[in-house]
Amino acid sequence: MKEVNINTQLFVFESLEELTPEVQNLMQKAIEVRKKAYAPYSKFRVGAALLLDNGEVVLGSNQENAAYPSGLCAERVAIFYAGANFPDAKIVKIAISATSDLNPNTTPIPPCGACRQSIAEYEFKQELPIEMFFMGESGAIYKSESLKNLLPFTFDKNFL
């Protein structure tokens, strides 16, 4: 038997003011768009803002459906919109903000597994890591320089 150790590196910012102006703006957009989430069942609202290499900012909020799992997470709404409307653009950064209508949340909330896999697909496609910033309703923000920090064993086309 052999042991494998995997190290992950995240950076922690205690407030929005510690971020660069560009990332502050992106996170503010994620905060604003999360208010537009359609979340009547979970009461959990998520907003995502993508910065593309062409300067475009693409937004997404989670969209639920009574027929689970027909809804879609904010990150995938934004990523798929970017893929459909800007197929040659690369995703440079993604900012994610999430909160619950039931309980205030100040803990950074990372993307779910399905969203991690979708982000991984775009990192593979564009051969460029995507900087990720995520937070709760308020408080600290985590930064990952690549999805690989959150999903070290990615599934990609090489396995097919």
- Cα(6)–Cα(13) distance, rounded to whole angstroms? 23
| Residue 32 annotated to the active site | no
- Pick the catalytic residue from 14, 22, 75, 137: 75
One DSSP character per residue, 123-140 reads: HHHHTS--EEEEESSSS-
Task: Please give the annotated binding residues for Zn(2+), written as ranges.
Answer: 73, 112, 115
Region at 45 (left for phi over 0; alpha for psi -120 to 50; beta for the rest): beta
Task: Please give the annotated binding residues, written as ranges.
Answer: 62-68, 73, 112, 115
- Cα(109)–Cα(98) distance, rounded to whole angstroms? 6
- Cα(14)–Cα(140) distance, rounded to whole angstroms? 4
Helices 113-126 and 74-85 sit at what angle, rounded to 10 degrees?
A: 30
Task: Please give the annotated binding residues for substrate, written as ranges.
Answer: 62-68
Q: Are 96 and 29 in contact (CB under 8 A)?
A: no
Distances in Å between the Cα of 157 and the Cα atoms of 35, 86, 160 are 35, 22, 5
* Residue positions annotated with a catalytic role: 75
